């Protein structure tokens, strides 16, 4: 299936909204009602949903629960996914606790740090392991998704070690763009870039 990252982000947002509608007891919704919620056109929404195999009925709309099941399956969220977090500083620990609390499809199965003071400590549900164990632990637990939350200088090396151990997708919080290798999918999330964007729009009011 060839779906762009932007479409995927919209699907992810629809799914979250549909889950909430379902919790609130809503069983059907039209593409126009969805469109109003997201400030998108109904045509766009129908196109996105059709692409993932969701089909509505003219004049009736979408059945919420089957659509949730369909999108969940299409996104691969009907399975549990194990994550490894590399870097157990403020960011990595926050992420580990946040995911542990909040989300059904994801669990942090391993956390690594090179700091002897952190190794052996408990964070959320896991016990921190040394980064030297990456090559053993990742294949053992069959972890395909890695989170990088280390300083810039260490990020590329640790990403490479994750990939060598079998990780195939990486979410990177380090303030550096990681080089993508071997068809591994990397998503860079640099909080400072978002802040700089906000500042720019602040200033734009005065220009």
The phi-psi region of residue 117 (left if phi > 0; otherwise alpha if psi is between -120 and 50; otherwise beta) is: alpha
Length of the chain: 207
Closer CB to a second copy, residue 25 or residue 104?
104
Contact 159, 143 (CB under 8 A): no
Whole-number minimum distance, CB 181 to a second copy, in Å?
13
Whole-number minimum distance, CB 26 to a second copy, in Å?
17
Whole-number minimum distance, CB 79 to a second copy, in Å?
8
Whole-number minimum distance, CB 71 to a second copy, in Å?
10
Closer CB to a second copy, residue 125 or residue 197?
197
Edge to edge, the sheet with strand 129-130 lists 129-130, 106-113, 81-86, 145-148, 169-172, 185-188
Distances (CA, A) of 2 to 5, 8, 16, 81, 182: 10, 10, 22, 22, 19
Whole-number minimum distance, CB 119 to a second copy, in Å?
20
Closer CB to a second copy, residue 3 or residue 127?
3
Contact 30, 62 (CB under 8 A): yes
Q: What are phi and psi of 148, to 5 degrees?
A: -100, 120
Closer CB to a second copy, residue 16 or residue 60?
16
Closer CB to a second copy, residue 58 or residue 79?
79
Binding positions for a second copy, rule: CB under 8 A: 1, 3, 5, 8-9, 12-13, 15-16, 38, 75-77, 81, 83, 90-91, 93-95, 97-99, 102-103, 105-106, 144-145, 168-171, 175, 177, 183, 185, 187, 189-205, 207
């Amino acid at each position: 299936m060839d779906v762009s990252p932007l479409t995927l982000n919209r699907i992810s947002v629809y799914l979250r909204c549909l889950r909430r509608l379902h919790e609130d007891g809503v069983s059907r919704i039209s593409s126009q009602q969805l469109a109003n919620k997201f400030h998108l056109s109904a045509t766009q929404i129908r196109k996105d949903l059709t692409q993932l195999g969701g089909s509505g009925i003219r004049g009736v709309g979408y059945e919420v629960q089957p659509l949730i099941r369909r999108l969940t399956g299409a996104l691969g969220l009907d399975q549990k996914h194990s994550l490894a977090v590399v870097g157990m500083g403020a960011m990595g620990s926050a992420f580990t606790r946040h995911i542990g609390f909040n989300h059904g499809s994801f669990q942090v199965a391993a956390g690594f740090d090179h700091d002897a003071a952190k190794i052996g400590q408990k964070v959320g549900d896991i016990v921190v392991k040394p980064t030297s164990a990456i090559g053993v632990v990742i294949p053992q637990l069959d972890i395909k998704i890695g989170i990088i939350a280390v300083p810039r200088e260490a990020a590329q090396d640790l990403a490479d070690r994750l990939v060598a151990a079998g990780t195939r997708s990486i979410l990177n919080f380090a303030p550096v763009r990681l080089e993508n290798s071997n068809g591994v999918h990397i998503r860079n999330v640099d909080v400072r870039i978002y802040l700089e964007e906000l500042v720019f729009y602040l200033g734009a009011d005065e220009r």
